[in-house]
């Protein structure tokens, strides 16, 4: 039965090297990562802003952070965490009409 963190979404700033494909392979080698998605948000002269979504059965934040730091990346924020027996998607409430 799944335990621990099952999904984590990170806002990350990284240098142009390593490439996104190489960074994805580095992260996917972590034994607790079942799948991941990296989306490029912004590029400037020296860096890239990316969003990384990782899924697994017991993701270890410190292990993920260490891999990113080895790649020269910095985590700006943790934007989402999902834990428990099943995934619970965020619910967006509509404002009431007044």
CATH code, domain with 36: 3.30.70.1340
Who contacts 6 (Cβ-Cβ below 8 Å, separation ≥6)? 55, 56, 57, 59, 82, 83, 84, 87
Confidence of residue 12 (pLDDT cuts 50, 70, 90): very high
> Within a domain: residue 91?
no
> Within a domain: residue 27?
yes
Helix, strand, or coil (residue 64):
helix
> Within a domain: residue 16?
yes
Between the alpha carbon of residue 52 and those of residues 15, 32, 49, 93, the distances in Å are 15, 15, 10, 25
> Within a domain: residue 98?
no
> Within a domain: residue 90?
no
**What is the residue whose two structure tokens read 């039965």?**
1
> Within a domain: residue 96?
no
Count up the domains in the chain and report the number.
1
> Within a domain: residue 56?
yes
What average pLDDT does the structure give for the chain?
A: 93
> Within a domain: residue 73?
yes
Enclosing domain of residue 34: 5-83
The predicted pLDDT at position 92 comes to: 82
Whole-model pTM: value is 0.88
The predicted pLDDT at position 2 comes to: 62
Q: Are 67 and 30 in contact (CB under 8 A)?
A: yes
């Amino acid at each position: 039965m799944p335990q621990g963190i099952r999904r984590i979404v990170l806002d990350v700033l990284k240098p142009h090297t390593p490439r996104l494909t190489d960074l994805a392979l580095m992260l996917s080698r972590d034994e607790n990562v079942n799948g991941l998605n990296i989306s490029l948000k912004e590029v400037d002269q020296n860096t890239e802003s990316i969003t990384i979504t990782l899924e697994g059965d017991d993701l270890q934040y410190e292990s993920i952070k260490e891999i990113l730091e080895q790649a020269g990346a910095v985590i700006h924020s943790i934007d989402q965490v999902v834990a428990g027996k099943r995934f619970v998607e965020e619910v967006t409430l509509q404002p009431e009409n007044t």
